[in-house]
Structure 1
Amino acid sequence: MMRTSADPPGPDGGKGGDAGATSGSGPLRAVRALVPGDVLAALDTSRRGLSAAQARARLEQYGANELPPGGHRAVWRQLMAQFTDLFAVVLIAASGITFLAYGLEDPHDVGTLELAVAILCVVILNAAIGFAQEYSAERTAQALEAMVPHTCRVLRGGERLELPARELVPGDMVMLEAGDAVSADCRMVEAHELAVNNAPLTGESNAVGRTSDPVAAGSPLDARNCVFMGTDVVAGSGRAVVFATGERTEFGRIYRLAAAAPRQKTPLQLQVASMARRVAGAALAIGALMFAVRLPAGESVVPSFVFALGVMVALVPEGLPATLSVSLAIGVRRMARRHALIKQLLAVEALGSTTVVCTDKTGTLTQAEMTVTQVWAGGTSHPVSGVGYAPDGRVADAAPVRELLRVAGLCCNARLVPPTDPEGREHWRVLGDTTEGALLVVAAKAALDLGVEETAAPRVTEFPFDSTRKLMTTVHKNGPRYQACVKGAPVELLERCTEVEWDGRRGPLTERERVAAVRASDALASQGLRVLAVARRELDGPRPTQDEAESGLTLLGLVGMLDPPRPEVTDAVAGCRRAGIRIVMVTGDHPLTGEAVARRVGIVRQPEPPLVVTGAQLDTMDDETLDALLTEPSELLLCRVSPEHKMRVVTAFQRRGEVVAVTGDGANDAPALKHADIGVAMGASGTDVAREAASMVLLDDSFASIAAAVRLGRAVYQNIRKFLVYLFSHNIGELVPILAATFAGFPLVPISAVQILAIDLGSDVLPALALGAEPPEPDVMNRPPRARRERLFSTAVVGRILFLGGIQALCVTGVFFWHVGSSGIPFDDFTEDTLVYQEAITMVQAGIVLSQFFNALAVRTDRQSVLKVGLLSNPALLAAGGFGVALMAAISYLPALQAVFNTAPLDPADWAVLTGLGTLPLIADEVRKAWLRRHADQREGAAR
């Protein structure tokens, strides 16, 4: 009878209460105490799952299986947070003090009021820009996260489907296998050696076995016949019925508690915060020094204080927070366009300094479209035609190997999905493991109908594949008896075989036949094929032990399948080599197969054999021996390795100071992905567990996307440094004239605080934002990785700031004193209304704006000539610079702005002189770059 309650049945057999109830305290208490058949009745479902109509009705009744967005601040909180940035706090305090100074002045100086308002406007504008960028970046991150599939396999009306996890409803029959993330709270009704990791709920990472048998009442998490949302399957397989979704799950209860936890800052954010504290401290110290210098000179307290505040404002890079946000957001979006989803800002930083990539083979270097090309049995090879998952082609002389292919096909959990598009734009695809998909295809090519075979020999139990024994076994009822179908790695399976059956003839497996099988396996592997051995055993009962089912086997033959390399990988591998990145293949395949693929994609280039280390050899090594092995510069392949081996190799590389990126797709890769500096999961073929553990997800599973992400990651870090040089170099140009005038005894400032704020708004923020969008330099992948401990303000960055800022400072200081000195007016006779003084400070402001325009062009590249990159190749930067120059012209010529900034119109000769001086930073930096390139070429020549 259909239930009418608004809440689904739960593990303890009661009703589900409101959203705040847990799956143990509210929902139906009886299901965990029931046998599987009664569980299905209690949840109003069947072993065939829900019908489509039932699923739609329950989705409307219970809602989507998803948790409310967490960790996202309200819009008003995001906006207010912009005013808590250290630079904003300093400027707000400066504005408040200036307003106070205006109130204390007698008579009131309108210039002081204008300064206070201008500072406040800068804070508001900067907050608006920062808020807009943060809001946009958050929405972009949510959209990108939605690109990563979160799916589950369910039975609907007896048909196995792959659906978005959010569409799960109570009563759904879920199919679980090793590597799956559990998407809802479920009651097991069938379990085959199934174990789960409950660490997200209990904090204990040990695998815990699950059963379909009834259990006694108790804590919900102690129910061994239930699995819970947020956990993952680490071994085995099974079926379970959903009893709680969304917020009603145990994970939903914990999620609500954790949603309000504060976010941790990344190392880059910490570096910027540290830099902000130093800059703010320096600004306050220099402002105090200026106040102390001017006060004894006879100037009153309030004007001296306002002057000191102006100096302090000159040193604060107001546009830095917004520019940093833009640069990171642009980098993340660019990486997403190259199929790399960045989940953590830390990954953006680490990408720029990656020195080692430990990469999987299948699916990352190859296309993950397995195709059986050879079937071997009894000393005879049977070629297979056709490629891909479409069952088009044939097995040469298929009759002798039909039993081999029948057994291999029965020992599979995958399913072939035919195209549904009548126009032929879709292709055959595999739902499940691609290796098993290839076995299903080759069985069809041999004219086997596996549907008929499965009906004749239904499966009764299964021993899933695991990375330790490297075998998978299924047990089938075969007439009055039972039969174990086994497939796996040839070395492991041959050790368990005692008989052989080739071409219908059965007999003992002699040493001669065993050697022949090993040689055939090696020959297939040397061609780059992945090799599986297939065997069977007759059994007396339906529930054998694993050892019984996988011993005393009868060898049927070998299957060799090819996973062709991705065409784009070769260039990506070559690019990583040029970038100084070492590539280590880590695979569970045969060493000969690994070497063949490595040579095809360029990981192995030397004619002599590479250094190949197997998992068995790693087991015999201590840490010192392993460290010495990894220190060798030889080409390295790690084959037949387990997840524990991968984890150990990553740790060893990190002990040597390497920055390690690791790829993985399985649940057993999660430890290495978490431990690596950059965990890279496969978005298309990877498990939910691997994607959750990684800091970067490849949406196309290709190694080329890793290389592209490294290139873009380096560009992001470089762009941050470019706008740091740009922002801080002109601060020197603003500060030095003020210091020079103070110590030269000139009674007025060469540039006022209001003018400085106009420069910061008109000539700083927009060009810096455009620099944050600068594409990678062409030679960015020809440079070695940056050092792990290298800081934003490195010696090179500080040196370049002083170099470019010093040139600007000398030019504008010289222009100021040349203009006031050539007038013949004594210093003491200058007032703010003196025309020569107004022209001089206008020339200083215009000189800084023009030099910053050319400075922006200079900092676009570190070593390459900007002429080679192209002066017009960043139109946004030219437009931003043009806006700054236009604003400066308006300040010079418009009477309303002249009154605010105390400026005067400049004649064409003045603009010509200022433009000529403004080009000096660009010219000087081009000379510096040419010198660097020449010495780099000389070093490379000497090295050759």
Structure 2
Amino acid sequence: MRRSRTVSTGRGRGPAGPAARAALMGVGADVTGPGARTGPPAGPGGAPTVQELRAGDVFTMLDTSPRGLPAARARTRLDRYGANELPRPGRTRVWRQLAAQFTDLFAIVLLVASAITFVAYGLGRPRDVGTLQLAFAILGVVVLNAAIGFAQEYSAERTAESLQAMVPHTCRVLRDGERLELPARELVPGDVVWVEAGDAVSADCRVVEAHELSVDNAPLTGESNAVGRTAEPVSSGPALEARNCLFMGTEVVAGAGRAVVFATGARTEFGKIYRLAAAAPPQKTPLQRQVASMARRVAGAALAIGALLFAVRLPTGESVVSSFVFALGVMVALVPEGLPATLSVSLAIGVRRMARRHALVKRLLAVEALGSTTVICTDKTGTLTQAEMTVTRVWADGVLHAVSGVGYAPVGEVDDPAPVRELLRVAGLCCDARLVPPTGPGHWKVLGDTTEGALLVAAAKAGVDLAAAEAAAPRVTEFPFDSDRKLMTTVHRDGAGHHACVKGAPSELLARCTAVEWKGERRPLTEETRAAVVAAGDDLASQGLRVLAAARREVGGPRPAREEAESGLTLLGLVGMLDPPRPEVTDAVGACRRAGVRIVMVTGDHPLTAEAVARRVGIVLGPDPVVVTGARLDALDGDALDALLAEPSELLLCRVSPEHKMRVVTAFQRRGEVVAVTGDGANDAPALKHGDIGVAMGASGTDVAREAASMVLLDDSFASIATAVRLGRTVYQNIRKFLVYLFSHNIGELVPILAATFTGFPLVPISAVQILAIDLGSDVLPALALGAEPPEPDVMDRPPRSRREPLFSAAVVGRILFLGGIQALGVCAVFFWHIHSAGIPFDDFTKDDPVYREAITMVQAGIVVSQFFNAQAVRTDRESVLKAGLLSNPALLGAGFAGIGFMAAISYVPLLQGVFNTAPLAAGDWAVLTGLGVLPLLADEARKGWLRRHRRVALRPRAAREEVNR
């Protein structure tokens, strides 16, 4: 967008220099003619594309002139093409979002149960107030779960709005030869705009004048370096590779220029990305799919068993209403009413943990998806690296000098700086970039090309005062860098004479040198010396460094010909720089490797740069990684791409487009992989939305990337992804723990009801209202405390679980049956022992019988007490809870005691006794219940001990083999 700040270069003039600014003031004659076309960058019938035309022909093609469009024609085109903005998608209304919470299968089952209960209350004669209380209790559970879910999901993604926010608000336009500042939305094809350093580009434009113009295309292409722009025609090819075009959403980092708009709004390259992102369907996480599957099975089982028991009781003489209420109790016993709320809040605990580790999760379920990640498609710049070019080596006088320090802060030093000061002074004078010191707690930044910024920092570390050097030798002429010469030259007045400073690619500059400065003396550049320079450059390049050379010469005046200024040069030396990897990334990559997570680098940068960084951080360890460019991806069909991704080799994808990145992500997903995708630019938005979890950069990323992603890294570091994977795995383990905890007591609730049915007892051993009290009043807090269990020590040494592995694996179901069966036997024994001790026949029991009320109170209290010990049992899979520490999770102990306290209130408070039909328990009753309740803990400790011994025995032969090998 058009910046509100004023961009300054620190030299008292704009970034393009006086000549460039003066050149931009001129306007030419109207060159419009009949048959001219507007809008698209290419005409019909094979006409040349806009990038292939000369500047004058561009005006003709787009039916405009260097004076810009007449106001009337601009209004006509605005009506024809529409505003220069991206269409906003329809936002889901709040009431629809809220209504969606009631479509969950558990919610539907409970709503049906509540409706049946209301009907049963209406049909009953006399009407039972307890039935009405049950109906409202079930309805309250549904409303509570919906409120929690709605609160978590209310913040919907607004990718399109973020894309719109990236479009500049104002732009500078020529209309009828008059310079105007207009809202960017009023731009139309054919408008003539001008830009300079610090401006964002408002639409897709063809450059017709360029003065040292370079742009940052990273939001669209992912390239980390600024790229130069030219007004000359270029050959036909992909639009984003056209060096004479500017694109919406990019930023001008140096120079100035004029351009003609050829595409606006959704027809821009930025608009294409918008359409890809908008079309991406929301991805369900593995946990979402598994919870949905579990809900279907549990609901089906609840309905089937309830219907079966209704059919069994009806012939016994029970009324239809009482049979309905009985069957309803069975169904409520099977449905884990507290699960949705418990799941949401437990995931929120994971979110808070990740936030403390610089990972902001936007969607709760994305927490768990991280834990099941099998592939991470990561970009390079800013995630693996620090996005700060840094000079690390300087070669001068035949000696290599190390440079310390990282980033743009001029903090560090050059080893033996005296021999390199002249080299860095000349390189610094031949730069347009400027260092910007922090205004607060921020970092040093570079205004302009990052490569030039690195040179300025290196000069400061060597003790070169560039401000004084510029004052002593002011610039009078410049020959900007272009990709053909691969050089930049500036001419400076030095006392009574003038000299040229040149920097550029070593191969190009060395060919123009005739001498070398060696230890302060100018010597002829012999073949032997030339070979030494080439060898030094090759050595720096082999280390993954970007290498530049610097040279100088005396010239005859302030306006020499370019050929004079760039020939007969004296070589001063070489500079090697890189975007340094983040120091913490190597360990993080190693952790992901141990965890069985495959890392694939996906970047818009050059393959050699990508491989060098990948080797530095440990993504590439072998000698021959598979390096695939975007061009090769275009040549691969679906089967060939699947075969490529199926290979276990180390894979680097370079020079890729947004479509390439998205295609790779979906191809991995077809293979059953759970894919995490990182990105920072608008070009990454489609892949971020298509991935199982999109990870955006918070510090350097664009708004659109952050909005499209499920998680935002506040520190932009890959290490935070590895930490998030560890926490995600922990969340999944903890989810399984509280599922075992929640479902095991469902067995303790169901089995007594079934036993009463088949023994002919006319009443239920535990009512539906009591079950709801256990599920929501006594179980939710301990389940949440289980969700806060810390990671197990070996969580990152296990392979990622399969996407196809069910949430209720055989081990989980077996443990549920094991613990739940022990609870069920205990509460059945308590209930029937208490009933038989009264000596009253089954048929004589009524709901108001004191013995019956004591018996159902003991069943409820027995389940609550056994769950207290059960919570300690499920904290670990194999490790003894004594080793983990009974007091190491104080929140779990507090939640358990709170549940027992709530149960005591139900037993002793008269008001609650009336609601739940309970009775006070004696101290002896509590002692019996405690003895029975501790049985699941003791039994599970025995099971864990057997598993540990069995594992040790199984590992002995393996250890013996390893000892022999050693």
Candidates 93, 114, 122, aligned match of 2:112: 93
Partner of 1:303: 322
Partner of 2:903: 888
SS at match of 1:534: strand
CA distance in 2, matches of 1:524, 1:124: 66
- Per-residue CA distance 1:357-415 (angstroms, 9 max, x = gap): 56666654555555434321463435557765344677678787667546644675643
- Per-residue CA distance 1:595-645 (angstroms, 9 max, x = gap): 79957x6778xxxx84243749999999999999998989x5969x54489
Partner of 1:516: 532
CA distance in 1, matches of 2:473, 2:65: 27
CA distance in 2, matches of 1:678, 1:338: 18
- Per-residue CA distance 1:192-236 (angstroms, 9 max, x = gap): 587989999xxxxxxx9999899xxxxxxxxx999776x558999
Letter in 2 for 1:862: D
Residues 473 and 484, structure 1, Cα contact 8 Å, conserved in 2: no
Letter in 2 for 1:289: L
Matched, 1:765 2:780: yes
Letter in 2 for 1:106: R
Partner of 1:55: none
Aligned CA distance change for structure 1 residues 383 and 708 (closer, same or farther; 3 Å): closer
Identity %: 68
Residues 722 and 859, structure 1, Cα contact 8 Å, conserved in 2: yes
CA distance in 1, matches of 2:898, 2:614: 54
CA distance in 1, matches of 2:630, 2:531: 26
CA distance in 1, matches of 2:276, 2:678: 32
Partner of 2:135: 116
CA distance in 1, matches of 2:381, 2:578: 10
Partner of 2:623: 611
Partner of 2:759: 744
Residues 629 and 656, structure 2, Cα contact 8 Å, conserved in 1: no
Residues 209 and 259, structure 2, Cα contact 8 Å, conserved in 1: no
CA distance in 2, matches of 1:181, 1:456: 28
Residues 360 and 714, structure 2, Cα contact 8 Å, conserved in 1: yes
SS at match of 2:779: helix
Partner of 2:516: 502
Matched, 1:441 2:457: yes
Residues 458 and 476, structure 1, Cα contact 8 Å, conserved in 2: yes
Partner of 1:82: 101
Residues 148 and 344, structure 2, Cα contact 8 Å, conserved in 1: no
Aligned CA distance change for structure 1 residues 70 and 649 (closer, same or farther; 3 Å): closer
Residues 499 and 507, structure 1, Cα contact 8 Å, conserved in 2: no
SS at match of 2:394: strand
Letter in 2 for 1:503: E
- Per-residue CA distance 1:902-930 (angstroms, 9 max, x = gap): 22211111111212222222233333333
Residues 404 and 534, structure 1, Cα contact 8 Å, conserved in 2: no
Candidates 919, 926, 931, aligned match of 2:941: 926
CA distance in 2, matches of 1:619, 1:512: 40
Deviates more, 1:703-712 or 1:371-380: 371-380
Shift, 1:711, TM fit:
0.9
Shift, 1:320, TM fit:
2.0
Aligned CA distance change for structure 1 residues 649 and 213 (closer, same or farther; 3 Å): closer
SS at match of 1:82: helix
Shift, 1:105, TM fit:
1.9
SS at match of 2:811: helix
Candidates 795, 800, 804, aligned match of 1:785: 800
- Per-residue CA distance 1:563-604 (angstroms, 9 max, x = gap): 6664544543453344334557789689899779957x6778
SS at match of 1:503: strand
Shift, 1:751, TM fit:
0.8
Letter in 2 for 1:871: L
Shift, 1:474, TM fit:
4.6
Letter in 2 for 1:87: F
Deviates more, 1:555-564 or 1:847-856: 555-564
Aligned CA distance change for structure 1 residues 472 and 80 (closer, same or farther; 3 Å): farther
Partner of 1:572: 588
TM-score normalised by structure 1 residue count: 0.72
Shift, 1:712, TM fit:
1.3
Shift, 1:303, TM fit:
1.0
Letter in 2 for 1:112: T
Shift, 1:88, TM fit:
2.3
Partner of 2:293: 274
Residues 762 and 887, structure 1, Cα contact 8 Å, conserved in 2: yes
Shift, 1:280, TM fit:
1.7
CA distance in 1, matches of 2:114, 2:629: 68
Residues 402 and 446, structure 1, Cα contact 8 Å, conserved in 2: yes
Partner of 1:126: 145
Matches within 5 A, 1:594-673: 610-613=622-625, 615=627, 642-643=655-656, 659=674, 661=676, 663=678
- Per-residue CA distance 1:157-200 (angstroms, 9 max, x = gap): xxxxxxxxxx99999986679xx986789997866587989999
Matched, 1:352 2:368: no
Shift, 1:287, TM fit:
0.7
CA distance in 1, matches of 2:280, 2:411: 55
CA distance in 2, matches of 1:914, 1:550: 95
In structure 1, the gaps of 5 or more residues are 1-22, 43-64, 157-166, 201-207, 215-223, 541-545
CA distance in 1, matches of 2:690, 2:487: 32
CA distance in 2, matches of 1:576, 1:276: 32
Residues 170 and 242, structure 1, Cα contact 8 Å, conserved in 2: no
Letter in 1 for 2:120: A
In structure 2, the gaps of 5 or more residues are 1-38, 41-58, 73-83, 173-182, 188-192, 222-226, 234-242, 557-561
Residues 607 and 655, structure 2, Cα contact 8 Å, conserved in 1: no
Aligned CA distance change for structure 1 residues 769 and 550 (closer, same or farther; 3 Å): farther
CA distance in 2, matches of 1:520, 1:210: 31
Residues 36 and 213, structure 1, Cα contact 8 Å, conserved in 2: no
Matches within 5 A, 1:148-159: none
Letter in 1 for 2:457: V
Shift, 1:750, TM fit:
0.9
Residues 115 and 754, structure 1, Cα contact 8 Å, conserved in 2: yes
SS at match of 1:107: coil
Shift, 1:317, TM fit:
1.6
Letter in 2 for 1:747: P
Letter in 2 for 1:896: L
SS at match of 1:372: strand
SS at match of 2:920: coil
Aligned CA distance change for structure 1 residues 929 and 154 (closer, same or farther; 3 Å): farther
SS at match of 2:625: strand
Letter in 2 for 1:415: R
Residues 496 and 552, structure 1, Cα contact 8 Å, conserved in 2: no
Residues 219 and 681, structure 2, Cα contact 8 Å, conserved in 1: no
Aligned CA distance change for structure 1 residues 578 and 833 (closer, same or farther; 3 Å): same
CA distance in 1, matches of 2:346, 2:208: 51
Aligned CA distance change for structure 1 residues 500 and 683 (closer, same or farther; 3 Å): farther
CA distance in 2, matches of 1:625, 1:75: 45
CA distance in 1, matches of 2:426, 2:168: 27
Residues 535 and 557, structure 1, Cα contact 8 Å, conserved in 2: yes
Matched, 1:836 2:855: no
CA distance in 1, matches of 2:361, 2:432: 32
Residues 266 and 274, structure 2, Cα contact 8 Å, conserved in 1: no
Residues 863 and 930, structure 1, Cα contact 8 Å, conserved in 2: yes
Matches within 5 A, 1:295-334: 295-334=314-353
Aligned CA distance change for structure 1 residues 353 and 127 (closer, same or farther; 3 Å): closer
Partner of 1:217: none
Deviates more, 1:405-414 or 1:833-842: 405-414
Aligned CA distance change for structure 1 residues 689 and 436 (closer, same or farther; 3 Å): farther
Matched, 1:868 2:871: no
Partner of 2:924: 909
Residues 761 and 843, structure 2, Cα contact 8 Å, conserved in 1: yes
Shift, 1:867, TM fit:
3.3
Aligned CA distance change for structure 1 residues 90 and 211 (closer, same or farther; 3 Å): farther
Letter in 2 for 1:273: A
Aligned CA distance change for structure 1 residues 870 and 36 (closer, same or farther; 3 Å): farther
Partner of 1:340: 359
Letter in 2 for 1:351: L
Partner of 2:55: none
Shift, 1:698, TM fit:
2.5
CA-atom RMSD, angstroms? 6.0
Matches within 5 A, 1:812-827: 812-827=827-842
